[in-house]
Homo-oligomer: A and B are copies of this chain.
């Protein structure tokens, strides 16, 4: 039997958002590898070895997965959301590119999942209903100046935006600066959605006009959706609907 690596997206949290394709890959795995809380989402069973590791060791984890596959194991690398969006798929291919030639001929498959911005948008209405962009606010691996440049150009393009990793304990100041930049560049009261842990028991959703946004409204489990200039709010009994019209 030849080994393989599957990089699978577990979706935002709820079991009802895990695709049958991912479920089947997990059922066939000999090894599951990933960040501690994601590996914890996979049920134990005889014959399954779980390898949980801390955050920020993505390349080590990718190499470990490839080594196990070389030994003939059926490895599933788990990501939350979609593995291709600010998650493990890129790290895996970085490791393949830098690794031994034999790794290129391993069977590697990426299985998509429901990424955080789509789960959050669905809960709010349709805020990403027209052209939009997704920006990772973490400056672990890129200069902060590049993030600011992208935010400014995204406002100029009038994209709706999904901001991933808005705020970590280690770098709380980045999101403060991002909000200042957005307020100054947008000059309006477009709706911003703070969506935390969507589809889990800790879910919360908050719609706030841009001028009233405060950095503490986001944490590590929050994705922030910023409307375009055309994004509208429908007031109603209960939580408002937020949507970006198709003509925006």
Contact = CB atoms under 8 A, between A and B. Distances in A.
Given A15-B20, A84-B121, 7 more contacts: A17-B21, A20-B20, A90-B243, A104-B241, A112-B119, A114-B114, A142-B247
Nearest to A242: B93
Contacts of A112: 17, 114, 118-119, 121-122
A135 B128 CA distance: 11
Contact of A130 (B11, B90, B154): B90
A244 B6 CA distance: 18
Interface of A is mostly: mixed
Contacts of A236: 104-105
Nearest to A108: B241
A110 B123 contact: yes
A19 interface: yes
Contact of A241 (B20, B93, B127, B248): B93
Copies of the polypeptide in the assembly: 2
Interface string A93-118: 11011000000110010111111001
Nearest to A91: B246
16 contacts: A14-B21, A17-B20, A82-B122, A83-B126, A84-B121, A86-B130, A89-B126, A90-B243, A94-B243, A96-B241, A97-B234, A105-B238, A112-B114, A112-B119, A132-B134, A153-B153
Interface of A: 11, 14-21, 24, 58, 82-86, 89-94, 96-97, 104-105, 108, 110-115, 118-119, 121-123, 125-136, 141-142, 149-150, 153-154, 156-159, 232, 234-238, 241, 243-248
A83 B119 CA distance: 11
Contact of A16 (B19, B130, B241): B19
B150 A125 contact: no
